[in-house]
Structure 1
């Protein structure tokens, strides 16, 4: 089956989460992704628990459908391998701090001279410029500096560490793929490649879509639990009698009427439509009292047939078994290479012509070294010499 990105060949120098998640999406959509891994510096995701059969489940997922070439970039012979790869791999994804690839002789300007069509995507915490460009950081730091943490969480307890990496994935991975594909389209018109500079902090800042717009245009500084969508209204989570939670997003009049009618007090619907804080507080308090009269299962049954934007807060295991997610086929079986398969999250993008079935889970470092080098014209003796010199694994 032909896939949407089957014509793309990507060299992936990234590790951990942002770059690998980006190249996972590309590989799932058919791009040929070759990971360039260090034979001496382990990608820490490889040892991240939990493990399935001794292998990290996260690594097996993030690196499925990708080949691996273990190459010591600090050795001069490695540059010759990269130059040969650039003959037909005209997209490069890297996640080093600014200047690292240049010091290795693999910066954009140097590689552009070899292949002018090269699309070079750099995903970093703070971007290629600015006083923080060389500073270390993680998802929680990017969200803090981008202003998101200032209006997320509870007023009395402060910001909360989120269960997903918003800056890494929504910031770095998804924007990296968007920038990469935009550059591919531009290259079709001009024949020229480009350098795409993706800062996870920049992209996280842009995710302040509503709060940021209000601040910049009107000077309204958002705080915790003082906006309609961050806990400052009835739009929130409510505890059930047995300690579970339900989500309420009944913003529109019809949904609010359905919610209030379900509890037998339709007259309170007007409170949900009022912008007055005292009315919002009254409705929120009434909802909490009402939700705590029921067990989780009772509320699930009550709202199953009501279109009120009220849904249960599911565990990951419950989400996997939910009929909607099952109908969307969001879990797939990926071959391990030994005749068995591992359950993984499927590519969430649906194409009318479908996507090819996953080929394999993430592999060992250098699992495809010989195959790749042979494809580049290296003889067996040359490959063995590179291995003996510890240029490749």
Structure 2
């Protein structure tokens, strides 16, 4: 059998076919790029670059942009630029935006167990809470709770334990709280209400004017760094601890569930790891900045650092136990969330208490001799 000869185009025919091929490549490349590039808007509940959660939101957006190589582009908007600070869940749920950074405690009015994914009075600390979410069944319960709203939530930063708040007058017993207009949010607000206080919902951006003008009598926000930045030491003299109402400061990233389900696997991993990295860095940063801020507050302002009186702590703890039982009774899902959370608290608290004792012993060992 003779050799096989393949006829190759030459001259004008080669030029024409090459031009057609090149044209097809030029047309196809932008189409592929367009198919692989996503442009999402992230709204937040925070003023721009607010210490703690505002910075966490920015860093998450920057990480996703960098790690995705531009395939997933996040544009960040502070509270009020597209939607009000307490409308982030609705904005993601109804498709106004694709993604949001906020805190689950804002939604407990419509989902009584939502606050468990930020903080519970006398509850899990930041590392214990992360263990519940990521290593136990916390994330699965969170997914189940939020799925009717069409969103997927992730831990996305942590400001650590909060202080008890700023009060215009010294507290001695539970009667001092009766009728007090206190800016406090989350499940802690429910505890204070059961003690006779009047919880007030005030956004982070409106908090200082409210305290300055006297429309509130006391304010709980976060911890020394955010409190100092907000200016709260200017208008209240008594700074109370511990923050029994908010021992954890978890933020959440919300993504449209439909968009999340269609996201390629590698971009899902990038979003997940960007959030996880911010939880670690945000918590470490909180300890660093709060230590420095507390020193500045006590050295610069006529402020007294106070411990809550025992009668208030005991009454608050009893009110908290009753609140958890009431939340658990609102629905079967809420009941499972409460029981899962309490199980994590029981399993983890022994080691946490021992670790805290060791930390206190180490602190005492390094105190200067008097």
Greater helix content: 2
TM-score, normalised to structure 2's length? 0.22
